[in-house]
Every structure is written in structure tokens, then in C-alpha cells.
Amino acid sequence: MSRISRIFPALCAILLVFIVAGCGSSDSVPKGDVMNVDGTTTSKETFDHWFTIALKSAGQGGAAPTLDPPTFKKCVAASKATAPKPVKGQVAPTDAQYLAQCKQQYDGVKSQVMTFLIRSEWLEQEAAKKDIKITDAEVLAAFNKVRRQQFPKAAEYEKYLKDAGITEADLLLRQRTQMLEQEITKKVNAETGKVTDAQIKAYYEKNKAQQFSQPAVRDTLVVLTKDKATAAKAKAEIEAGASWASVAKKYSIDPASKDSGGKLPVAQGQGEQALEEAVFGGPVGKAIVGPVKTTDGWYIVRVQKETPGKVTQLDAALKQSLRSVVAQQQQQSALQKFGKEYQTRWKKLTECATGYIVSDCHNYKKPKSTTTTAPTTPSSGG
């Protein structure tokens, strides 16, 4: 049984990457078809239809590339005709280089088309397995809503169809493919089940320190110097009656605290260990600690005030908020797991004809790396 219609959206908007075709067995693909997914085949005629659309898209408003495998004579001639003349002293590209470029362009477009056709068929069959049904009326309603937004005037819509070489039936199939993907995603998410209180508690405990706790903060006065002797001198002057602000301005090498009278708030657990021990190792008061050696230099410190740390408790309001967070995490995890299983399972059921084999085909073999010299002035042809 052959599906003869598929939608090929704008290139670069849906497919992942260009895939270089490999080689392998294609015995299960009937003559005249390009692929077989679990007994459902896609014809060469369908491939040609989407290949033509892809070429127009690749033209980006200009002339579509001329790609005529297997000889690519027209492509080579067009590329040579449209290539700029080499500047003085520059060697013109050879026919072999133009041929390599034409083959590379063809393989890129061919691989995009095949990947799209394969993945569209996967969605159709996966939806059937999951008993997902979308009616033509539902597809048309969703499509008309989008069409009216993008093309308020009928003339604009007709021009788009003509320029893109695409039909409304093609666009409706594109809409259907998108809706199938959305419904499959919804079904996978629904299978994750409800979030339990135990799961919320586990998330809370795991993230308590980073998300639900505020560390204790001590407001300090500091002077940071390059060496121990200068720090000791600064300490002696303050103990002799000089103001902290004047001493900080005189000796400190830290611009921020120097310009604020020596003030520096220090959060517990977020700074250098030596400084933190000096700040939190004793009581709040007038005592001056130091000199203390750190990677930045030598500190003297006085603790002025402490704001105790705070932990947000797991009350009913926070539970409700975290329930959606945990649910989202579970859904993402489930989708990732499903995605891997989905691709592995359908790839095993996908055979492609020789000359149309891409990485989503079960008979794909990764090609050996090769180096191809392309023309120095690439041209897509005309």
C-alpha cells in the first residue's frame, strides 16, 4: 500500500540536518518506490513531487538549482555559466569540482526530502498504534485558522501556492502531520501519571540548599591590603581611634569596600573559606579579626550585624507550586525516553531503496570520511 501524498515544509524549518546517503540492502522496497515502512511504501513519484518543492525552496526566491543526476551535466554547465570570472592569478574551478558541488547539493536536498517522508510515515503509523484519530474537518479548521492569519487576502495565498509549487492538499497534510505529533506528545505526557507527595518531597530535599534556603549574612567592615604588614598597620590605626572609613580609604585595595567606608556584606557558604571563617568564626561585636590571608590579599574584619539564614518550608502553597515543576520534569524525561525508543523501533522497520538511503533507514551504513574540494566560488546554478 502506498501513501502518495506528503507535505514538505520550508527547508531549514523542520528537519534536523543534511544526511549523506549510505549504502545497504534494499530488497524489501518494491521497484518504483523509495522506501518501505513496516509494509507501507512511498513511491518515486511522491519523492519527485517533494524534491521539486524542495528545490524551489532552496532557490530562496531566485532560480532553483539545476540538479540532474546521475551525470549532472546541466548542473555543471549552469554553475560554470553563473560563476564569477576568476580574478587575475586565480585558477578557475575544474569540471570535477563543479560536479562534486552538484552531487553535494543533490545529496543534501534528497536527504532532507527522504528524512521528511520517513518521519511523516512514522508519525502516521505511531498515531494508528496509539489509536489517535484526527478527522479531515479538524485538520481543515486548524489549517484555515493559520491560513487566515498568514494570508488575510486570498490573492496573497494563491501567489504563495504558485511560487512555492505546492497545493492546498499538501498544506493540509502538513497540518495533519503537526497535529499528529502534538497528539502523540499529549498521550506520552498523560502516561506519566499524577505527581505524588513523595516525589514533591524528594525534589524539595534535593534542591533545598540551592532553591529554598537563604544563607546567613553578616555585615562587616573590612580593609583589604596587599601584604600582612600593611594590614597590621591599618588595624593598629583603627584600634588607636581612627575611623574605619578613613583607614579603608587610605589602605584598602578593594575599590567597592574602599568607597563605601569599608562595608562588605558576606553570605555564609558563598565566599573564600579563609574570609568566611574570619567573618563567621566569632560573635558580632567590636573586635577586629586579622590580618587574615586570602587569595585576594590580607584582610582585617569587624562584624557589625548578622541576618540569620532562612529556609522556606514545604507548606501547602509551595507543594502546589512544585507539583507542576515535578510534573514538567517527569514529562520531559518521559518524552526523551519515548523519543529514543520511538526512533530505534521505527528505524528497524524502515528500508530504503538504493540511492535513497539516509540515516533513518535500517539499511543505512555510515560512509567513510572523504575530502572533496569544492569550487572557490560556489554557485547553485540556474
Percentage above 90 pLDDT, the chain: 76
In this structure, is residue 236 part of a structural domain? yes
Please give the average per-residue pLDDT across 114-139, as a whole number. 97
What's the domain range around 140?
Answer: 33-192+333-352
In this structure, is residue 202 part of a structural domain? no
Please give the average per-residue pLDDT across 88-101, as a whole number. 90
pLDDT in tens, 159-173: 999 988 899 999 999
Q: Residue 11's pLDDT is what?
A: 36
Q: Which residues contact 379 (CB under 8 A, 6 or more apart)?
A: 78, 79, 82, 83
In this structure, is residue 283 part of a structural domain? yes
What CATH number has the domain bearing residue 240?
3.10.50.40
**Same domain, residue pair 292 and 345:** no
**Same domain, residue pair 43 and 160:** yes
Q: Are strands 289-293 and 263-267 parallel, antiparallel or unpaired?
A: unpaired
**Same domain, residue pair 48 and 130:** yes
In this structure, is residue 197 part of a structural domain? no
Q: Provide the strand spans (E) within the chain.
A: 33-37, 40-43, 213-214, 217-225, 263-267, 289-293, 298-307, 310-311, 350-352
Residue 285 amino acid letter? G
String of DSSP letters for 122-146: HHHHHHHHTT----HHHHHHHHHHH
Q: Is the pLDDT of residue 149 over 90?
A: yes
In this structure, is residue 3 part of a structural domain? no
In this structure, is residue 7 part of a structural domain? no
pLDDT in tens, 273-286: 999 999 999 889 88
**Same domain, residue pair 151 and 226:** no
- Number of independent structural domains in the chain: 2
**Same domain, residue pair 225 and 304:** yes
**Same domain, residue pair 39 and 103:** yes
Q: Is the pLDDT of residue 151 over 50?
A: yes
Q: Residue 117's pLDDT is what?
A: 96
* 2 DSSP 8-state letter: B
pLDDT in tens, 317-351: 999 999 999 999 999 999 999 999 999 999 999 99
In this structure, is residue 340 part of a structural domain? yes
**Same domain, residue pair 158 and 220:** no
- Prediction pTM value: 0.68
**Same domain, residue pair 144 and 275:** no
pLDDT in tens, 172-208: 999 999 999 999 999 999 999 899 999 999 999 999 9
**Same domain, residue pair 267 and 341:** no
Cα separation, 99 vs 236, in Å, equals 83
In this structure, is residue 368 part of a structural domain? no
**Same domain, residue pair 155 and 253:** no
Q: Is the pLDDT of residue 13 over 80?
A: no
CA-based nearest residue to 7, from 170, 139, 165: 170
Please give the average per-residue pLDDT across 60-88, as a whole number. 82
Q: Residue 270's pLDDT is what?
A: 87
Q: Residue 369's pLDDT is what?
A: 67
* 268 DSSP 8-state letter: T
**Same domain, residue pair 45 and 184:** yes
**Same domain, residue pair 291 and 236:** yes
Q: Is the pLDDT of residue 25 over 70?
A: no
Q: Which of 24-28, 38-42, 78-82, 271-275 has the highest mean pLDDT?
A: 38-42
8 A C-beta contact, residue 234 and residue 251: yes
Share the mean pLDDT of the chain. 88
